Amino acid sequence: MEFTKMHGLGNDFIVVAGEQALPAGVDELAIKLCNRFFGIGADGLVYILPSEVADFKMRIINSDGSEAEQCGNAIRCVSKYVYDNGLTTKTSLTIETLGAGVQPVELELADGKVSRVTVDMGQPILNGLDVPTTIDANPVLGHTVTVDGRDFKFTAVSMGNPHCVIYVDDAVGFDLAAWGPKLEKHPLFPRKINVEFATVNTRDHVDMRVWERGAGPTLACGTGACATLVSSVLNGLTGRKATISLAGGDLLIDWNEENNRVYMTGPAAFVFTGTI
């Protein structure tokens, strides 16, 4: 099997192109290939597939074998892959995902290769029961979830995949491993959830660290950055355009007031190709 290793701000993926559909047992394959000691090592396994409604379709399997509906860093990597490898000559194209349908992407080039990508990440889903959470509220703002006797106030946002955003004094130094797994799997979240810990520095700059559903602590999360911006606007903490600083680098997120769609701009990087 031929693969290409790529990352978006250190959130890394094994990218596979040329297949017509996901192989049987893709969950076990993802677990095996994403293993950082016995496999290639990655946060997820990403397939570029044909689409009937867009230029390409992307499907993403987390390193624990679960399939996610959407992935912001991966969609930038897929966009870079298809242009740099000559699968398209367009710098404006569309990628289909399970969680956000047809997503327009805009490619920026440097020396003939894609350097940055702006992705239309669609409209945020704010109705609690649709995120999903078990909370019948729209939106879910400042609700409390308790784990091991500690209360966390959170805002729930879906970008096609579920997120809960929690504001803390020091996101950069927050102990993700202590609290992330318990929140990820809390009964309030029927399909588990990605957990973002955020510190708002100014009205256009937020530090965020993430514990991802099905992948654990990653260096960056594109959909999580979108969810963090949306949550920060809803809570009156930032404007509709802000830089979200993650461990792996910065994403620029813009929640357009006219069309209610969230735009994410950031880099994508090629690392190596291989055969396994």
Ligand X SMILES: N[C@H](CCC[C@H](N)C(=O)O)C(=O)O
Q: Is 62 annotated as a binding residue?
A: yes
Residues contacting ligand X: total by CB under 6 A? 17
Q: Which is nearer to ligand X, 74 or 93 (CB)?
A: 74
The reply, when asked if residue 256 is annotated as ligand binding, is: no
Nearer to ligand X, 190 or 203 (CB): 190
Phi, psi of 5 (to 5 degrees): -90, 125
Q: Which residues contact 76 (CB under 8 A, 6 or more apart)?
A: 8, 105, 117, 119, 222, 264, 266, 267, 268
**Interface stretch with ligand X, choices 128-136, 143-151, 195-203, 216-224 (CB under 6 A):** 216-224
Nearest partner of 195 among 159, 163, 239, judged by Cα: 163
Judged by CB under 6 A, the residue of 194, 238, 243, 245 near ligand X is 194
Q: Is 72 assigned a ligand-binding role in the annotation?
A: yes
Pick from 215, 229, 230, 268 the residue near ligand X by CB under 6 A: 215
Residue keyed to tokens 């946002």? 157
Active site residues: 71, 221
Q: Is 127 annotated as a binding residue?
A: no
Site track 38-77 with ligand X (rule: CB under 6 A), x = hit: ------------------------x-----x--xxx----
Is residue 124 close enough to count as binding ligand X by CB under 6 A?
no
Which of the residues 149 through 188 are near ligand X (CB under 6 A)? 161
Residue 79 interacts with ligand X (CB under 6 A): yes or no:
no
Q: Which is nearer to ligand X, 83 or 213 (CB)?
A: 213
Minimum distance from residue 241 beta carbon to ligand X (Å) = 19
Tell me how far, at minimum, the Cβ of 204 lies from ligand X, in Å. 21
In the shown chain, the binding pattern of residues 131 to 150 toward ligand X, with x for contact by CB under 6 A and - for none, equals --------------------
Q: Does 122 bind ligand X (CB under 6 A)?
A: no
Query: Does 36 count as an annotated binding residue?
Result: no
Interacting residues with ligand X (CB under 6 A): 11, 62, 68, 71-73, 161, 194, 212-215, 218, 221-224
What residues form the annotated binding site for substrate? 11, 62, 72-73, 161, 194, 212-213, 222-223
